[in-house]
Amino acid sequence: MSDLSATAEDDCSKEQVLKLPRVECLSSSTQLYRYQGFWYPLGILKTLISLQQNFKAKHTDIFLCASLKAGFTWLKALAFAIETRTRFDGDDSLATNPLLKKAPHDLIPFLEFDLPNNAKSRDPQLRLLATHLPYTSLPESIISLGCKIIYICREPKDNFVSYWNFFQRIMVNKMNSSSFDNEFRLFCEGKSIRGPYWDHVLEFWSASTEKPETVLFLKYEEVKENTLFWVRKMAEFIGKPFSEKEEIEKVPQRIVELCSFENLSNLEVNKKGKHLSIRSSVEIENSAFFRKGIIGDWKNHISAEMKEAMDQITEEKLLGSSLVFGSTT
Q: State residue 138's pLDDT score.
A: 98
Sequence-ordered alpha helix ranges (H) in the chain? 14-18, 42-54, 72-83, 104-107, 140-144, 156-170, 177-188, 197-210, 220-225, 227-237, 244-248, 251-258, 261-265, 268-272, 304-318
**227 - beta bridge partners?**
none
Q: State residue 103's pLDDT score.
A: 86
Q: State residue 125's pLDDT score.
A: 80
Q: Are strands 22-25 and 30-35 parallel, antiparallel or unpaired?
A: antiparallel
Q: Which of 115, 80, 112, 6 is nearest to 255 (CA)?
A: 80
CATH 3.40.50.300 fits domain 57-318: yes
Q: State residue 124's pLDDT score.
A: 74
Q: Residues in the chain with pLDDT < 70?
A: 1-15, 27-28, 88-94, 115-122, 171-178, 273, 276-282, 285-290, 327-329
Catalytic residue of the set 105, 132, 200, 275: 132
Q: State residue 71's pLDDT score.
A: 92
At residue 135's C-alpha, the angle toward residues 326 and 139, to 5°, is 150
Active-site residue, 105 included: no
The pTM of the full predicted model, rounded to 2 decimals, is: 0.89
Q: How far apart are CA 173 and CA 155, in angstroms?
A: 28
Q: State residue 28's pLDDT score.
A: 57
Q: Which amino acid is at 123?
A: D
Q: Which of 14, 7, 15, 121 is nearest to 54 (CA)?
A: 7
Q: How far apart are CA 78 and CA 219, in angstroms?
A: 14
Q: State residue 8's pLDDT score.
A: 44
Q: State residue 2's pLDDT score.
A: 41
User: Which one-letter DSSP state was computed for residue 212?
Assistant: T
